[in-house]
Amino acid sequence: MSLLSRLQSFSDKHAISESTSVTPLSAVTNKLYSATEGDINGRRAILLGTNNYLGLTFDEACSKAGKQAIDNYGTGTTGSRLANGSYSQHKCLEDDIAQFYGVDHAIVFSTGYTANLGVISALVGRGDTIMLDEHCHASIYDGCNLSGAEIIHFRHNNAADLEKRLKRLGDKTSNTLIVTEGIYSMLGDRGSLKEICDVKQRYDALLMVDEAHSLGVLGKTGRGLGQESGVENQIDFITGTFSKSLAGIGGFCVSQHPQLEVIRYTSRPYIFTASPSPATIATTREALKIIVQRPQLREQLWRNATQLYNGLQELGYELSPEISPVIAVNANTQENAMSMWTQLFEQGVYVNMVLPPATPGSRCLLRCSLSAAHTSEQIKCVIEAFSNLRERSTVQKKIA
Amino acid sequence: MEKAVEEIISEVIPILTKFTKPDMDVTADSHLMHDLDLDSVKVMELMMELEDHFDISIPLNALPDVNTVAELASEIAQLKSS
């Protein structure tokens, strides 16, 4: 099959078309009224498909800092740090992040995706082993593939299954990197970090935790699941993103190990990408301050999550396993998911439709992401929209 | 090795049939995705079952070279002997 025919075949199979009907693939945001409302394809909609957990995308201090950074440093860095050098603000942001986590070393990447890609591929290589939770994000899988290490996955959140696999490795465990997440992006569930840390300590492996969805969301000062679980000192590397709670774009890795600094010279995704733009660095520094200074945002986020979770549960929908800022509604089939997504959109509610193979267990899901900026009234509107769905009676609590 | 692979095939097929449609005929030459209609998610679930059954860990890196039941059995035999 030719290269273009293969693409056409994919397009035919997934019904990708240029038609004017709105689908998750063709939806375009024309205007944003606030962090939680926008105009999508000409329709005003409540935004429930963002990762804007703390609602900071329009924060005044962040915007001001970003504009000032453009005035002072220009719109882009136009090159990588290894070739073109670092801006002082890159170093300041790394210091801020290290201080936030209470560690000595931090490296900033251009995206969260390249943070995982860059850290994993620089830490392990041919002859080493990676043990990752089967629900880990694609960026982690891609980092594993880039590394050339042997990749073994263990059952989701199952420390006993991880231990069984570590035992099989024998004396190779000291060359093993375990990778898990704080909050898993598809079902919004927390990782079993405490149990995994217990196993990791017994087998002398290294542990990396991706706190992309848990930064700003979990822990007393918002550092994530490691902080909430009281096991931060057992985590060797924490990665995360600026594109969710921090409302920008970029990624990072922090560690107590001084060897982290070496990956600036060995990590291809770090070396061969333009460094984060001045505006991105400035808004992220402001947003990081807000995470520390305004814990009430985190509290509001959890109140909002609880309101929506309870409301959808009362309607009888089968939901992801725990209350979380990411709430997944099981739609059972792809047809249901598409129909439900469209009906929600027509009622002015924009959610994420996520389908296999991106979802665990081949589920067809509507994923709702809460923000601290959602009002109680908006969440009531969302619950009302879900109550009107034609499929409601057929997908209620009957899906395995 | 050949005998070991044959024995493994006979153990793999009953496990495989838990993931295929009831009327499917599974043989050593069956292609996991094309003949048995297993998607990538089902293949992953199958691997987990096989790992438990044979007490091995199958690296994900090995999967691109595993297309048929016989190739799968051969990979398992190799992992068991290493």
**Where do the structural domains in chain A lie, given as residue ranges?**
17-47+295-395, 60-293
- What is d(CA A33, CA A45) in angstroms, rounded to the nearest whole number? 10
- What is d(CA A276, CA A2) in angstroms, rounded to the nearest whole number? 37
Chain B residues whose CB is inside 8 A of the A168 CB are 55-57
- What is d(CA A94, CA A352) in angstroms, rounded to the nearest whole number? 32
Catalytic, out of A213, A214, A267, A369: A213
Chain A residues whose CB is inside 8 A of the B42 CB are 362
Chain A residues whose CB is inside 8 A of the B48 CB are 134, 155
Give the three-state DSSP class for A397.
Answer: coil
> What angle (nearest 5°) sits at the alpha carbon of residue A144, between those of residues A141 and A145?
90
Confidence of residue A332 (pLDDT cuts 50, 70, 90): very high
What integer pLDDT is reported at residue B1 of this predicted model?
A: 55
Instruction: Map chain B to HEC letters.
Output: CHHHHHHHHHHHHHHHCCCCCCCCCCCCCCECCCCCCCCHHHHHHHHHHHHHHHCCCCCHHHHHHCCEHHHHHHHHHHHHHC
Test mutation, A128, A362, A365, chain B, max B CBs within 10 A: A362
Chain A residues whose CB is inside 8 A of the B58 CB are 152
What integer pLDDT is reported at residue A392 of this predicted model?
A: 82
Is B40 in Cβ contact with A362 (below 8 Å)?
no
What integer pLDDT is reported at residue B23 of this predicted model?
A: 83
The 10s digit of each residue's pLDDT in A242-271 is 999 999 999 999 999 999 999 999 999 999
Q: How close is the nearest chain B Cα to the Cα of A200, in Å? A: 18
Peptide bond into A357 cis (omega under 30): yes
What integer pLDDT is reported at residue B22 of this predicted model?
A: 84
What residue type is assigned to position A196 of the chain? I
Tell me how far the alpha carbon of residue A350 is from its chain's centroid.
18
The 10s digit of each residue's pLDDT in B11-55 is 999 999 999 988 889 999 999 988 898 888 889 899 999 999 999
Confidence of residue A21 (pLDDT cuts 50, 70, 90): low
Burial class (CB in 10 A: 0-12, 13-18, 19+), B4: middle
The secondary structure of chain A in percent helix, strand, coil, rounded to multiples of 5, reads: 45, 15, 40
Is A362 in Cβ contact with B56 (below 8 Å)?
no
What integer pLDDT is reported at residue A400 of this predicted model?
A: 38
Catalytic, out of A110, A139, A147, A185: A185
Half-sphere exposure for A307 (CA within 13 Å, toward CB): 21
- What is d(CA B37, CA B42) in angstroms, rounded to the nearest whole number? 9
Chain B residues 29-68 within an 8 A CB cutoff of chain A: 39-42, 44, 48, 55-61
The 10s digit of each residue's pLDDT in A106-164 is 999 999 999 999 999 999 999 999 999 999 999 999 999 999 999 999 999 999 999 99
What lies within 8 Å, CB to CB, of B22 at 6+ separation is none
Q: How many residues does chain B have?
A: 82
Of A151, A357, A362, the CB nearest to B59: A151
Q: A146: nearest CA in chain B?
A: B61
- What is d(CA A102, CA A399) in angstroms, rounded to the nearest whole number? 44
Chain A residues whose CB is inside 8 A of the B57 CB are 152, 165, 168-169
Average pLDDT over residues A173-177: 94
Confidence of residue A199 (pLDDT cuts 50, 70, 90): very high
- What is d(CA A212, CA A189) in angstroms, rounded to the nearest whole number? 13
B53 and B8 Cβ atoms separated by less than 8 Å: no
What lies within 8 Å, CB to CB, of B64 at 6+ separation is none
- What is d(CA A343, CA A385) in angstroms, rounded to the nearest whole number? 8
Q: How close is the nearest chain A Cα to the Cα of B38, in Å? A: 12
What integer pLDDT is reported at residue B53 of this predicted model?
A: 95
What integer pLDDT is reported at residue A397 of this predicted model?
A: 57
- Whether A213 is catalytic is yes
Q: Which neighbouring-strand residues pair with A330?
A: A365
Tokens matching residue A241 = 């993103």
Q: Which neighbouring-strand residues pair with A178?
A: A131, A207
Confidence of residue A9 (pLDDT cuts 50, 70, 90): confident
Is B55 in Cβ contact with A155 (below 8 Å)?
no
pLDDT of A184 above 80: yes
> What angle (nearest 5°) sits at the alpha carbon of residue B14, between those of residues B10 and B15?
110
pLDDT of A224 above 90: yes
pLDDT of A398 above 60: no
Is B48 in Cβ contact with A155 (below 8 Å)?
yes
Q: How many residues does chain A have?
A: 400
Chain A residues whose CB is inside 8 A of the B56 CB are 168
In this structure, the number of other CB atoms found within 10 A of the CB of residue A95 comes to 12
User: Hunting for tokens 């068991």 — which residue is that?
Assistant: B80
Test mutation, B57, B63, B76, chain A, max A CBs within 10 A: B57
Backbone phi and psi for residue A350, each to the nearest 5 degrees, phi listed first: -105, 115
Superfamily of domain B2-81: ACP-like (1.10.1200.10)
Q: What is the CATH topology of the domain spanning A60-293? A: Aspartate Aminotransferase; domain 2 (3.40.640)
Mean of pLDDT over chain A: 94
User: Hunting for tokens 């267990």 — which residue is that?
Assistant: A361
Q: How close is the nearest chain A Cα to the Cα of B75, in Å? A: 14
CATH architecture of A17-47+295-395: Alpha-Beta Complex (3.90)
Of A134, A150, A169, the CB nearest to B61: A150
Chain B residues whose CB is inside 8 A of the A127 CB are none
Confidence of residue A18 (pLDDT cuts 50, 70, 90): low
- Whether A244 is catalytic is yes
Average pLDDT over residues A275-286: 98
**What ipTM, to 2 d.p.?**
0.91
Test mutation, B34, B43, B60, B65, chain A, max A CBs within 10 A: B60
Burial class (CB in 10 A: 0-12, 13-18, 19+), A286: buried
What lies within 8 Å, CB to CB, of A215 at 6+ separation is A182, A222, A223, A224, A240, A241, A244, A245, A246, A291
Q: B40: nearest CA in chain A?
A: A357
Peptide bond into A269 cis (omega under 30): no
Reported pTM: 0.94
| Least confident piece of the model among A65-79, A244-258, A301-315, B39-53 | B39-53
What residue type is assigned to position A237 of the chain? F
